[in-house]
Amino acid sequence: MAHRRFPPWATDALLAIVLTVGALVDYAELDLSTIRTLGWRDPDPLAIALILLQTVPVAFRRRFPTTALLIVSLGFFLDRNFNYPSTIAIFGLLFVFQAVGSELPRRRALITGWTTIGLMVLFTISGVFADVVSVGTPLLVLIFTSFPFVLGLESRARRTTEAELAVRAKELEYDKAEAVQQERSRIARELHDVVAHEMTVATIQATAARRLIGADDEKAEKAAEEAERAGHEGLVELRRLLGVLRTDEPASRSPQPGLTQINALADQMREAGLAVVINVEGDARVIPPGMDLNAYRIVQESLTNVLKHAGPDVTATVTITYRPNDLAITITDNGRGAAGAIGRDVTGHGLIGMRERVAMLHGTLDAGPTPGGGFGVSTTIPCDTA
């Protein structure tokens, strides 16, 4: 069974009842001799009315905090002025002051709360000069009233902060979803170009093979093999393309880059002021065009992040490792490390794009500050062929 929160109005109503009953019980337990010995006024119907003024408003303190404070304060002033015996009804002030601080707008709460507290302190100070209360009473009144009021202000500030954080979290979630959508659209457009290229190659080679059959069987066989290869790789990329959102934007007709252009990319980064070291391990080989394109984009985005956020005099190292069943790429730098990671924002659009590309290729990606300082991106992409 789901837990149901007790309604605030019911809590306040119960609290008002407890205070009222408790104050009446306090009166019932006092005998007249004790009251007269202490110099208090004998309880009468007016005393009961003043108790109700201090306790009943607690029931609506959240909905009408200013009205509740006015009524309770009036009951308090009259109760003290007529010198009735003290009861727990005085705690109504505590709960009402807390509501003023937590429910009213901050500026209004500050004016209302501190003005009322000031009047109460002045009232008790006048009682000191009239030799009605002790010298320490004004300080006790100040503490008794300001403490719950400050707690109420802090409660409101905390609720406001939580609400702002919740709104900000929703905005960030929306921004992230929007970034993912845009990145998937961009990836889809790029893959569209790859598929179109491979299908074009397959068509041309198949046509050539048909024409060469009987005239030059060796060339016809090579053309058929190329058509088979292009068609097979085109199908692989087409399967990936179908899993990515496609927009109506026209596809680019420019050639798509790959890992063979990594050195040119490194030269561009060097011209922009970033020192780049390229390491290639294993036997370099031709990989499917879609995988080639996305591997290049991951390196490109990582180096761009280093250039933007890692600080001056930084060296980035790109290691591309060709293995039998997968391709591993690591990009590290010796920049500002954890501080730089904050600037890079591990949930930012750059890494969102990389994660989308790697997820589409059924690979893995890790990104974050490195133990020795700096920042690192590491990805492994399986070399699937179907």
111-150, pLDDT tens digit by residue?
999 999 998 888 888 878 877 667 887 888 888 889 999 9
> Residue 48 pLDDT > 70, yes or no?
yes
In the three-class reduction of DSSP (H, G, I as helix; E, B as strand; rest coil), residue 282 is classed as coil
Could you tell me the pLDDT band of residue 345, with boundaries at 50, 70 and 90? Answer: very low
Instruction: Indicate the average pLDDT of the chain.
Output: 78
Q: Distance between CA 327 and CA 11 in Å, rounded? A: 63
Q: Are 80 and 58 in contact (CB under 8 A)?
A: no
How big is the CA angle at 56 (ends 51 and 61), to the nearest 5 degrees? Answer: 130
pTM for the model stands at: 0.48
Token couple for 142: 């100040």
Q: What is the pLDDT of residues 6-26, one digit of tens each?
A: 788 888 899 999 999 998 888
Q: What is the pLDDT of residue 373?
A: 79
Q: Who has greater pLDDT, 153 or 169?
A: 153
CA pair distance 97, 141, nearest whole angstrom: 12
Residue type, 368: G
Q: Residue 29's pLDDT is what?
A: 82
Give the C-alpha separation, 172 to 328, whole Å: 31
pLDDT at 351 over 90: no
Q: Is 61 helix (H, G, I), strand (E, B) or coil?
A: coil
Residue 317 has pLDDT above 80, yes or no: yes
Q: How does residue 300 score in pLDDT terms, banded at 50, 70 and 90?
A: confident
pLDDT at 270: 83
Higher pLDDT, 1 or 159: 159
Buried b (16+ CB within 10 A) or exposed e, 214-240: eeeeeebeebbebbeebbebbebbbeb
Instruction: Please state which of the ranges 49-53, 54-58, 138-142, 270-274 shows the lowest mean pLDDT.
Output: 270-274
pLDDT of residue 342: 40
Alpha-carbon gap, residue 146 to 53, rounded angstroms: 20
Strand order in the sheet with 326-333: 275-281, 315-322, 326-333, 375-382, 364-369
Looking at per-residue confidence, does 260 or 373 come out higher?
260
pLDDT on residue 298: 87
Taking residues 189-197, report their average pLDDT.
Answer: 60
